Structures are given as C-alpha cells and as structure tokens.
C-alpha cells in the first residue's frame, strides 16, 4: 500500500506544476484520495461484498466530489486533476497513464445490463467537462477536448472535439505518448471550421449571383 502511495505521489509531482511537496499532495489532492478509496472499494467489490464497496465509494464521493464505482477497472498511473464532478461508471475500463480533468463523465446511455460504459486505452487525456457515453472503446494516445460529448468509438492517436465529438486529427500530427502532454487549448474547433467553410461558400455564391445579374443587365441594355 505504501509503495503504491509513493508511486502515486511521485506521479502527481511529475505531472502537476502546482504540486510543491509530498506532504501537501497527501493532505490536499482529492484525486489521490479518491483513487485510494476506489482501490479499497474495488477489493470488496471483487470479493462480492457489494454493499461495503458502495459505502466506501459513496463516502469518498462526499469527501472528494469524485464518484468512482467500485466495479470499474482502472490501470496504473491514473491522474485525476482537481476532480470535482468526475463520474466513472461500473463497467468503465481505464488503461494506464490516463489523465481526467474536472467534470469528466465516463457513463452509460441507458439501463442495459452488462457492459454499458466506455473503455479508455492508455495515455488518454479527457478534458474538463467532457462526457464519454456508451460501451465503446477510446483508443491509445487519444485526446478529448474540454466539453466534448463522445458517443462513438475513437481510433488510436486521434483528437476529438465538439458536441457530438468529431475526430479532427488522426496521425496527421505527431502524438506524444508521454502523459505530460496536457495541452487542452491548441485544439481545432469543428464549429469554427464549419462556419469558415460556410462563409467561403456564401462568398462564392454571392460572386456567382453577381455575375448572373451583370450578364442579365447587359442583355437588357442591348
């Protein structure tokens, strides 16, 4: 337990420039507290002591603002930054070295039995307020922009943006496997791109209309 705690603290120091000391991280980082509570709850869940597992997870939710169902499967190196409002569903699977910001939901879309929550690969970044909803896979080295709503599978090495989320980069730019690549700002906006495309199309149609009018006026003058 203590070796795992040391690894988690070292991970936070590596990724968070605001982290000043191990003592501060141990006392104040809600993501760290939530993950350790999850591990205890998951042990009880795996041993079919479901009520105890849920009690532990609910106490952790009230204390940290992060709700992780004890049935979720989480790999090593998960970092929940700030974390308020994060929800991780029962059948969610999270790979290694992933990063979740505040307000992220890994949820389902209905009351179906069995697998109903997403699976994240390794080195996945999910931006603030993003929602990933459904029993599909998000590939390795994927970036999901802040406030995106992901409803379909995303292949490896992609960037997804928007509501609903659209893939805007796919191996066109170098994808860094290092989980320290936390940039959520410099991502293309699909809405802005679509507006620009429409503006170009409107200008083209206006020029065409003007040329038709000119030709019509010239015919009348004759």
The pLDDT profile of the chain, 222 residues, written as one tens digit per residue, is 677 888 888 888 888 888 888 888 888 888 899 999 999 999 999 999 999 999 999 999 999 999 999 999 999 989 998 889 999 999 999 999 999 999 999 998 776 678 899 999 999 999 999 999 999 999 999 999 988 999 999 999 898 988 888 888 877 554 444 444 445 555 555 666 667 778 888 888 888 888 888 877 777 776
144 with 214, same domain: the answer is no
Omega within 30 of 0 (cis) for the link into 164: yes
Are 52 and 44 in contact by the 8 Å Cβ rule? The answer is yes
Q: Domain containing 169 — which CATH number?
A: 2.160.10.10
112 with 153, same domain: the answer is yes
183 with 194, same domain: the answer is no
Are 16 and 99 in contact by the 8 Å Cβ rule? The answer is no
Total-model pTM: 0.73
Q: Which domain does 43 fall in, by range?
A: 2-188
Angle, helix 2-15 to helix 30-46, in steps of 10 degrees? 140
116 with 202, same domain: the answer is no
Are 91 and 114 in contact by the 8 Å Cβ rule? The answer is yes
In angstroms, the Cα distances linking 91 to 100, 101, 148, 215 are 17, 20, 21, 66
Number of domains in the chain: 2
Q: Two tokens at 170?
A: 């796919």
Q: Which residues pair with 100 in a beta bridge?
A: 80, 126
C-beta neighbour count of 111 within 10 angstroms: 6
Q: What's residue 203's pLDDT?
A: 84
11 with 94, same domain: the answer is yes
68 with 163, same domain: the answer is yes
Q: In what order do the strands lie in the sheet with 137-138?
A: 73-74, 93-94, 119-120, 137-138
Nearest to 153 by CA among 166, 168, 163: 166
């Amino acid at each position: 337990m203590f070796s795992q705690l040391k690894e988690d603290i070292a991970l936070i120091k590596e990724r968070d420039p605001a982290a000043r000391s191990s003592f501060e991280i141990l006392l104040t980082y809600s993501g760290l507290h939530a993950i350790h509570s999850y591990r205890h709850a998951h042990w009880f869940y795996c041993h079919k002591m479901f009520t105890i597992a849920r009690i532990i997870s609910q106490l952790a939710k009230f204390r940290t603002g992060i709700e992780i169902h004890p049935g979720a499967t989480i790999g090593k190196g998960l970092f929940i930054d700030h974390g308020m409002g994060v929800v991780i569903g029962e059948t969610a699977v999270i790979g290694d070295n992933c990063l979740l910001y505040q307000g992220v939901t890994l949820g389902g879309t209905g009351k179906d039995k069995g697998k109903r929550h997403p699976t994240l690969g390794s080195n996945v970044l999910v931006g603030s307020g993003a929602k990933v909803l459904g029993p599909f896979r998000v590939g390795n080295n994927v970036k999901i922009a802040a406030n995106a709503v992901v409803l379909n599978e995303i292949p490896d090495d992609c960037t997804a943006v928007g509501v609903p989320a659209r893939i805007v980069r796919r191996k066109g730019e170098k994808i860094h496997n290092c989980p320290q690549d936390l940039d959520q700002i410099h991502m293309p906006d699909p809405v802005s791109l679509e507006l620009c495309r429409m503006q170009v199309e409107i200008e083209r149609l206006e020029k065409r209309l003007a040329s038709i009018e000119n030709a019509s006026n010239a015919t009348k003058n004759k």
